[in-house]
Amino acid sequence: MRSIIKASVATLTATTILAGAAFADGHGMKLKGELNITSDMSNPAPRAVMEGLAAQFDEMHPDLTVNLTIVDREAWKTQIRNSLSANAPDVVNWYAANRMGPYVSAGLFEDVSDVWADESMAALASTKGAMTIDGKQWGVPYTYYQWGIYYREDIFKELGLTEPATFDEEMANCAKIIDSGRKCYTIGSKFLWTAGGWFDYMNMRTNGFDFHMQLAQGEVEWTDERVRETFANWRKLIDMGAFIDDHQNYSWQEALPFMVKGEATAYLMGNFSVAPLREAGLTDDQLGFYQFPTIADVPQGEDAPTDTFHIPSGATNKDAAKAFLEFVTSADVQSDINGGDKLGQLPVNSASSVADDKFIAKGFEMLSNNAKGGVAQFFDRDFPAEMASAGMEGLQEFMVFPDNLDDILARLEETRARVYK
């Protein structure tokens, strides 16, 4: 259902409204006509954010009418191509990196490198790589969240452990945790993607962000010795008995009690795990977070799945669309929409402020200082669907049967040769 946004913006913060007006005046925008936005922000909190953004942008530009269409998030995954191909809107929601690749290749997304050329966009440097294909930018991010190691800070204190900075320190900590009768990590790999997270970090820390992206793009063979080195480092933890037993039988949620009960001390997971850990009774005094430790001297890529806005190549009001992209990434707007009572995630603008939450604050600091390393989108977003599916099956198998590595890599290389040809 299409709704024309001429609603009151009273629910938006005064600071953001004033900042938005100043932004418009500073760019000399005299926008006219209609701006048609199709958004998949259909859940209640994101929907309220999207409706607020559309209303605010409409209010800033009296000669512009903003038409907002909200579609179901899951349905949009199958509808987007048709929407981009016929009677395209001016702005759409999607995802970064490989997930936008098919629409870039098909000529359905507009090159917005000129938006990124504005000096204000330097504050989005940590996400630029995720928006770049063939040296050009094809959209802007509006929110992301960090991955890293969430751990039982109280158990670390009990055992005299400190947050590790290197993989050697990580393994030394793990040895002491195992000696105490606990496992180092909980994980539920029944639905495979959690094993993908472990591979992402082991590979980015062993070989660097650029190499990881080259593998995702099919430019590196799975039987390459550098990939084998990644698995060799990962196997050090497996051989130690670092992971909970029978993790292939648990979902990620079913693996949470091992950490809650103190039977395992840490979880490599996204920030969405904090809420259920709190709901299960763990306090912020018991929980800590640290960046995945370094292995080799390579840029520290991070998994940070990123939601985005794009301009379809068939858009009819590209000036207004580009102005909206600049508006939604501005520091004040980013601070507002990513607040704890709204999206509750991380602003993509390093000049923004963050919610009063220690995990959000740590994630924001980590990612804002990661311009040299780059932001990955997670295994099942960075790799094409068929490669991701086969890959995650192989990664879970490796965690359970590490001696099968040669067979696993041979199968994955056969899949790579077929998928990327």
Q: Which CATH architecture has domain 147-303+384-419?
A: 3-Layer(aba) Sandwich (3.40)
Maximum mean pLDDT: which of 78-87, 117-126, 228-237: 228-237
* pLDDT of res. 355: 81
2-145+307-371 and 147-303+384-419 share one fold: yes
* pLDDT of res. 27: 54
Domain ranges of the chain: 2-145+307-371, 147-303+384-419
Tokens linked to 80: 């987007």
DSSP state of 249: G
DSSP string for residues in 304-365: --EEEEE-BTT-S-HHHHHHHHHHHTSHHHHHHHTSTTTT-SB-SSTTS---S-HHHHHHHH
pLDDT digits (tens, 9 = 90+) for 120-175: 999 999 899 889 999 999 999 999 999 999 999 999 999 999 999 999 999 999 99
Answer for the pair 166, 293: CB distance below 8 angstroms, yes or no: yes
Angle at 396 between CA 163 and CA 184, to 5 degrees: 25
Contacts of 130 (CB under 8 A, 6+ apart): 96, 97, 141, 306, 374, 375, 376, 377
pLDDT digits (tens, 9 = 90+) for 175-200: 999 999 999 999 999 999 999 999 99
Torsion of CA 161, 167, 171, 172, to 10 degrees: -50
* pLDDT of res. 25: 44
* pLDDT of res. 385: 87
pLDDT bucket at 240, cuts 50 / 70 / 90: very high
**CATH superfamily label, 2-145+307-371:** Periplasmic binding protein-like II (3.40.190.10)
> Percentage of the chain with pLDDT > 70?
93
Angle at 329 between CA 104 and CA 372, to 5 degrees: 70
As a whole number, the mean pLDDT across the chain is 92
* pLDDT of res. 371: 61
Q: What does the pLDDT average to over 44-55?
A: 96
- Checking if the pLDDT of 340 tops 80, the result is no
The SS3 of residue 94 is: strand
* pLDDT of res. 29: 59
pLDDT digits (tens, 9 = 90+) for 274-300: 999 999 999 999 999 999 999 999 998
Say how far apart CA 184 and CA 247 lie, in whole Å.
Answer: 13
Element (H, E) at 171: helix 167-179
* pLDDT of res. 341: 80
pLDDT digits (tens, 9 = 90+) for 381-413: 899 889 999 999 999 999 999 999 999 999 999
- Checking if the pLDDT of 261 tops 80, the result is yes
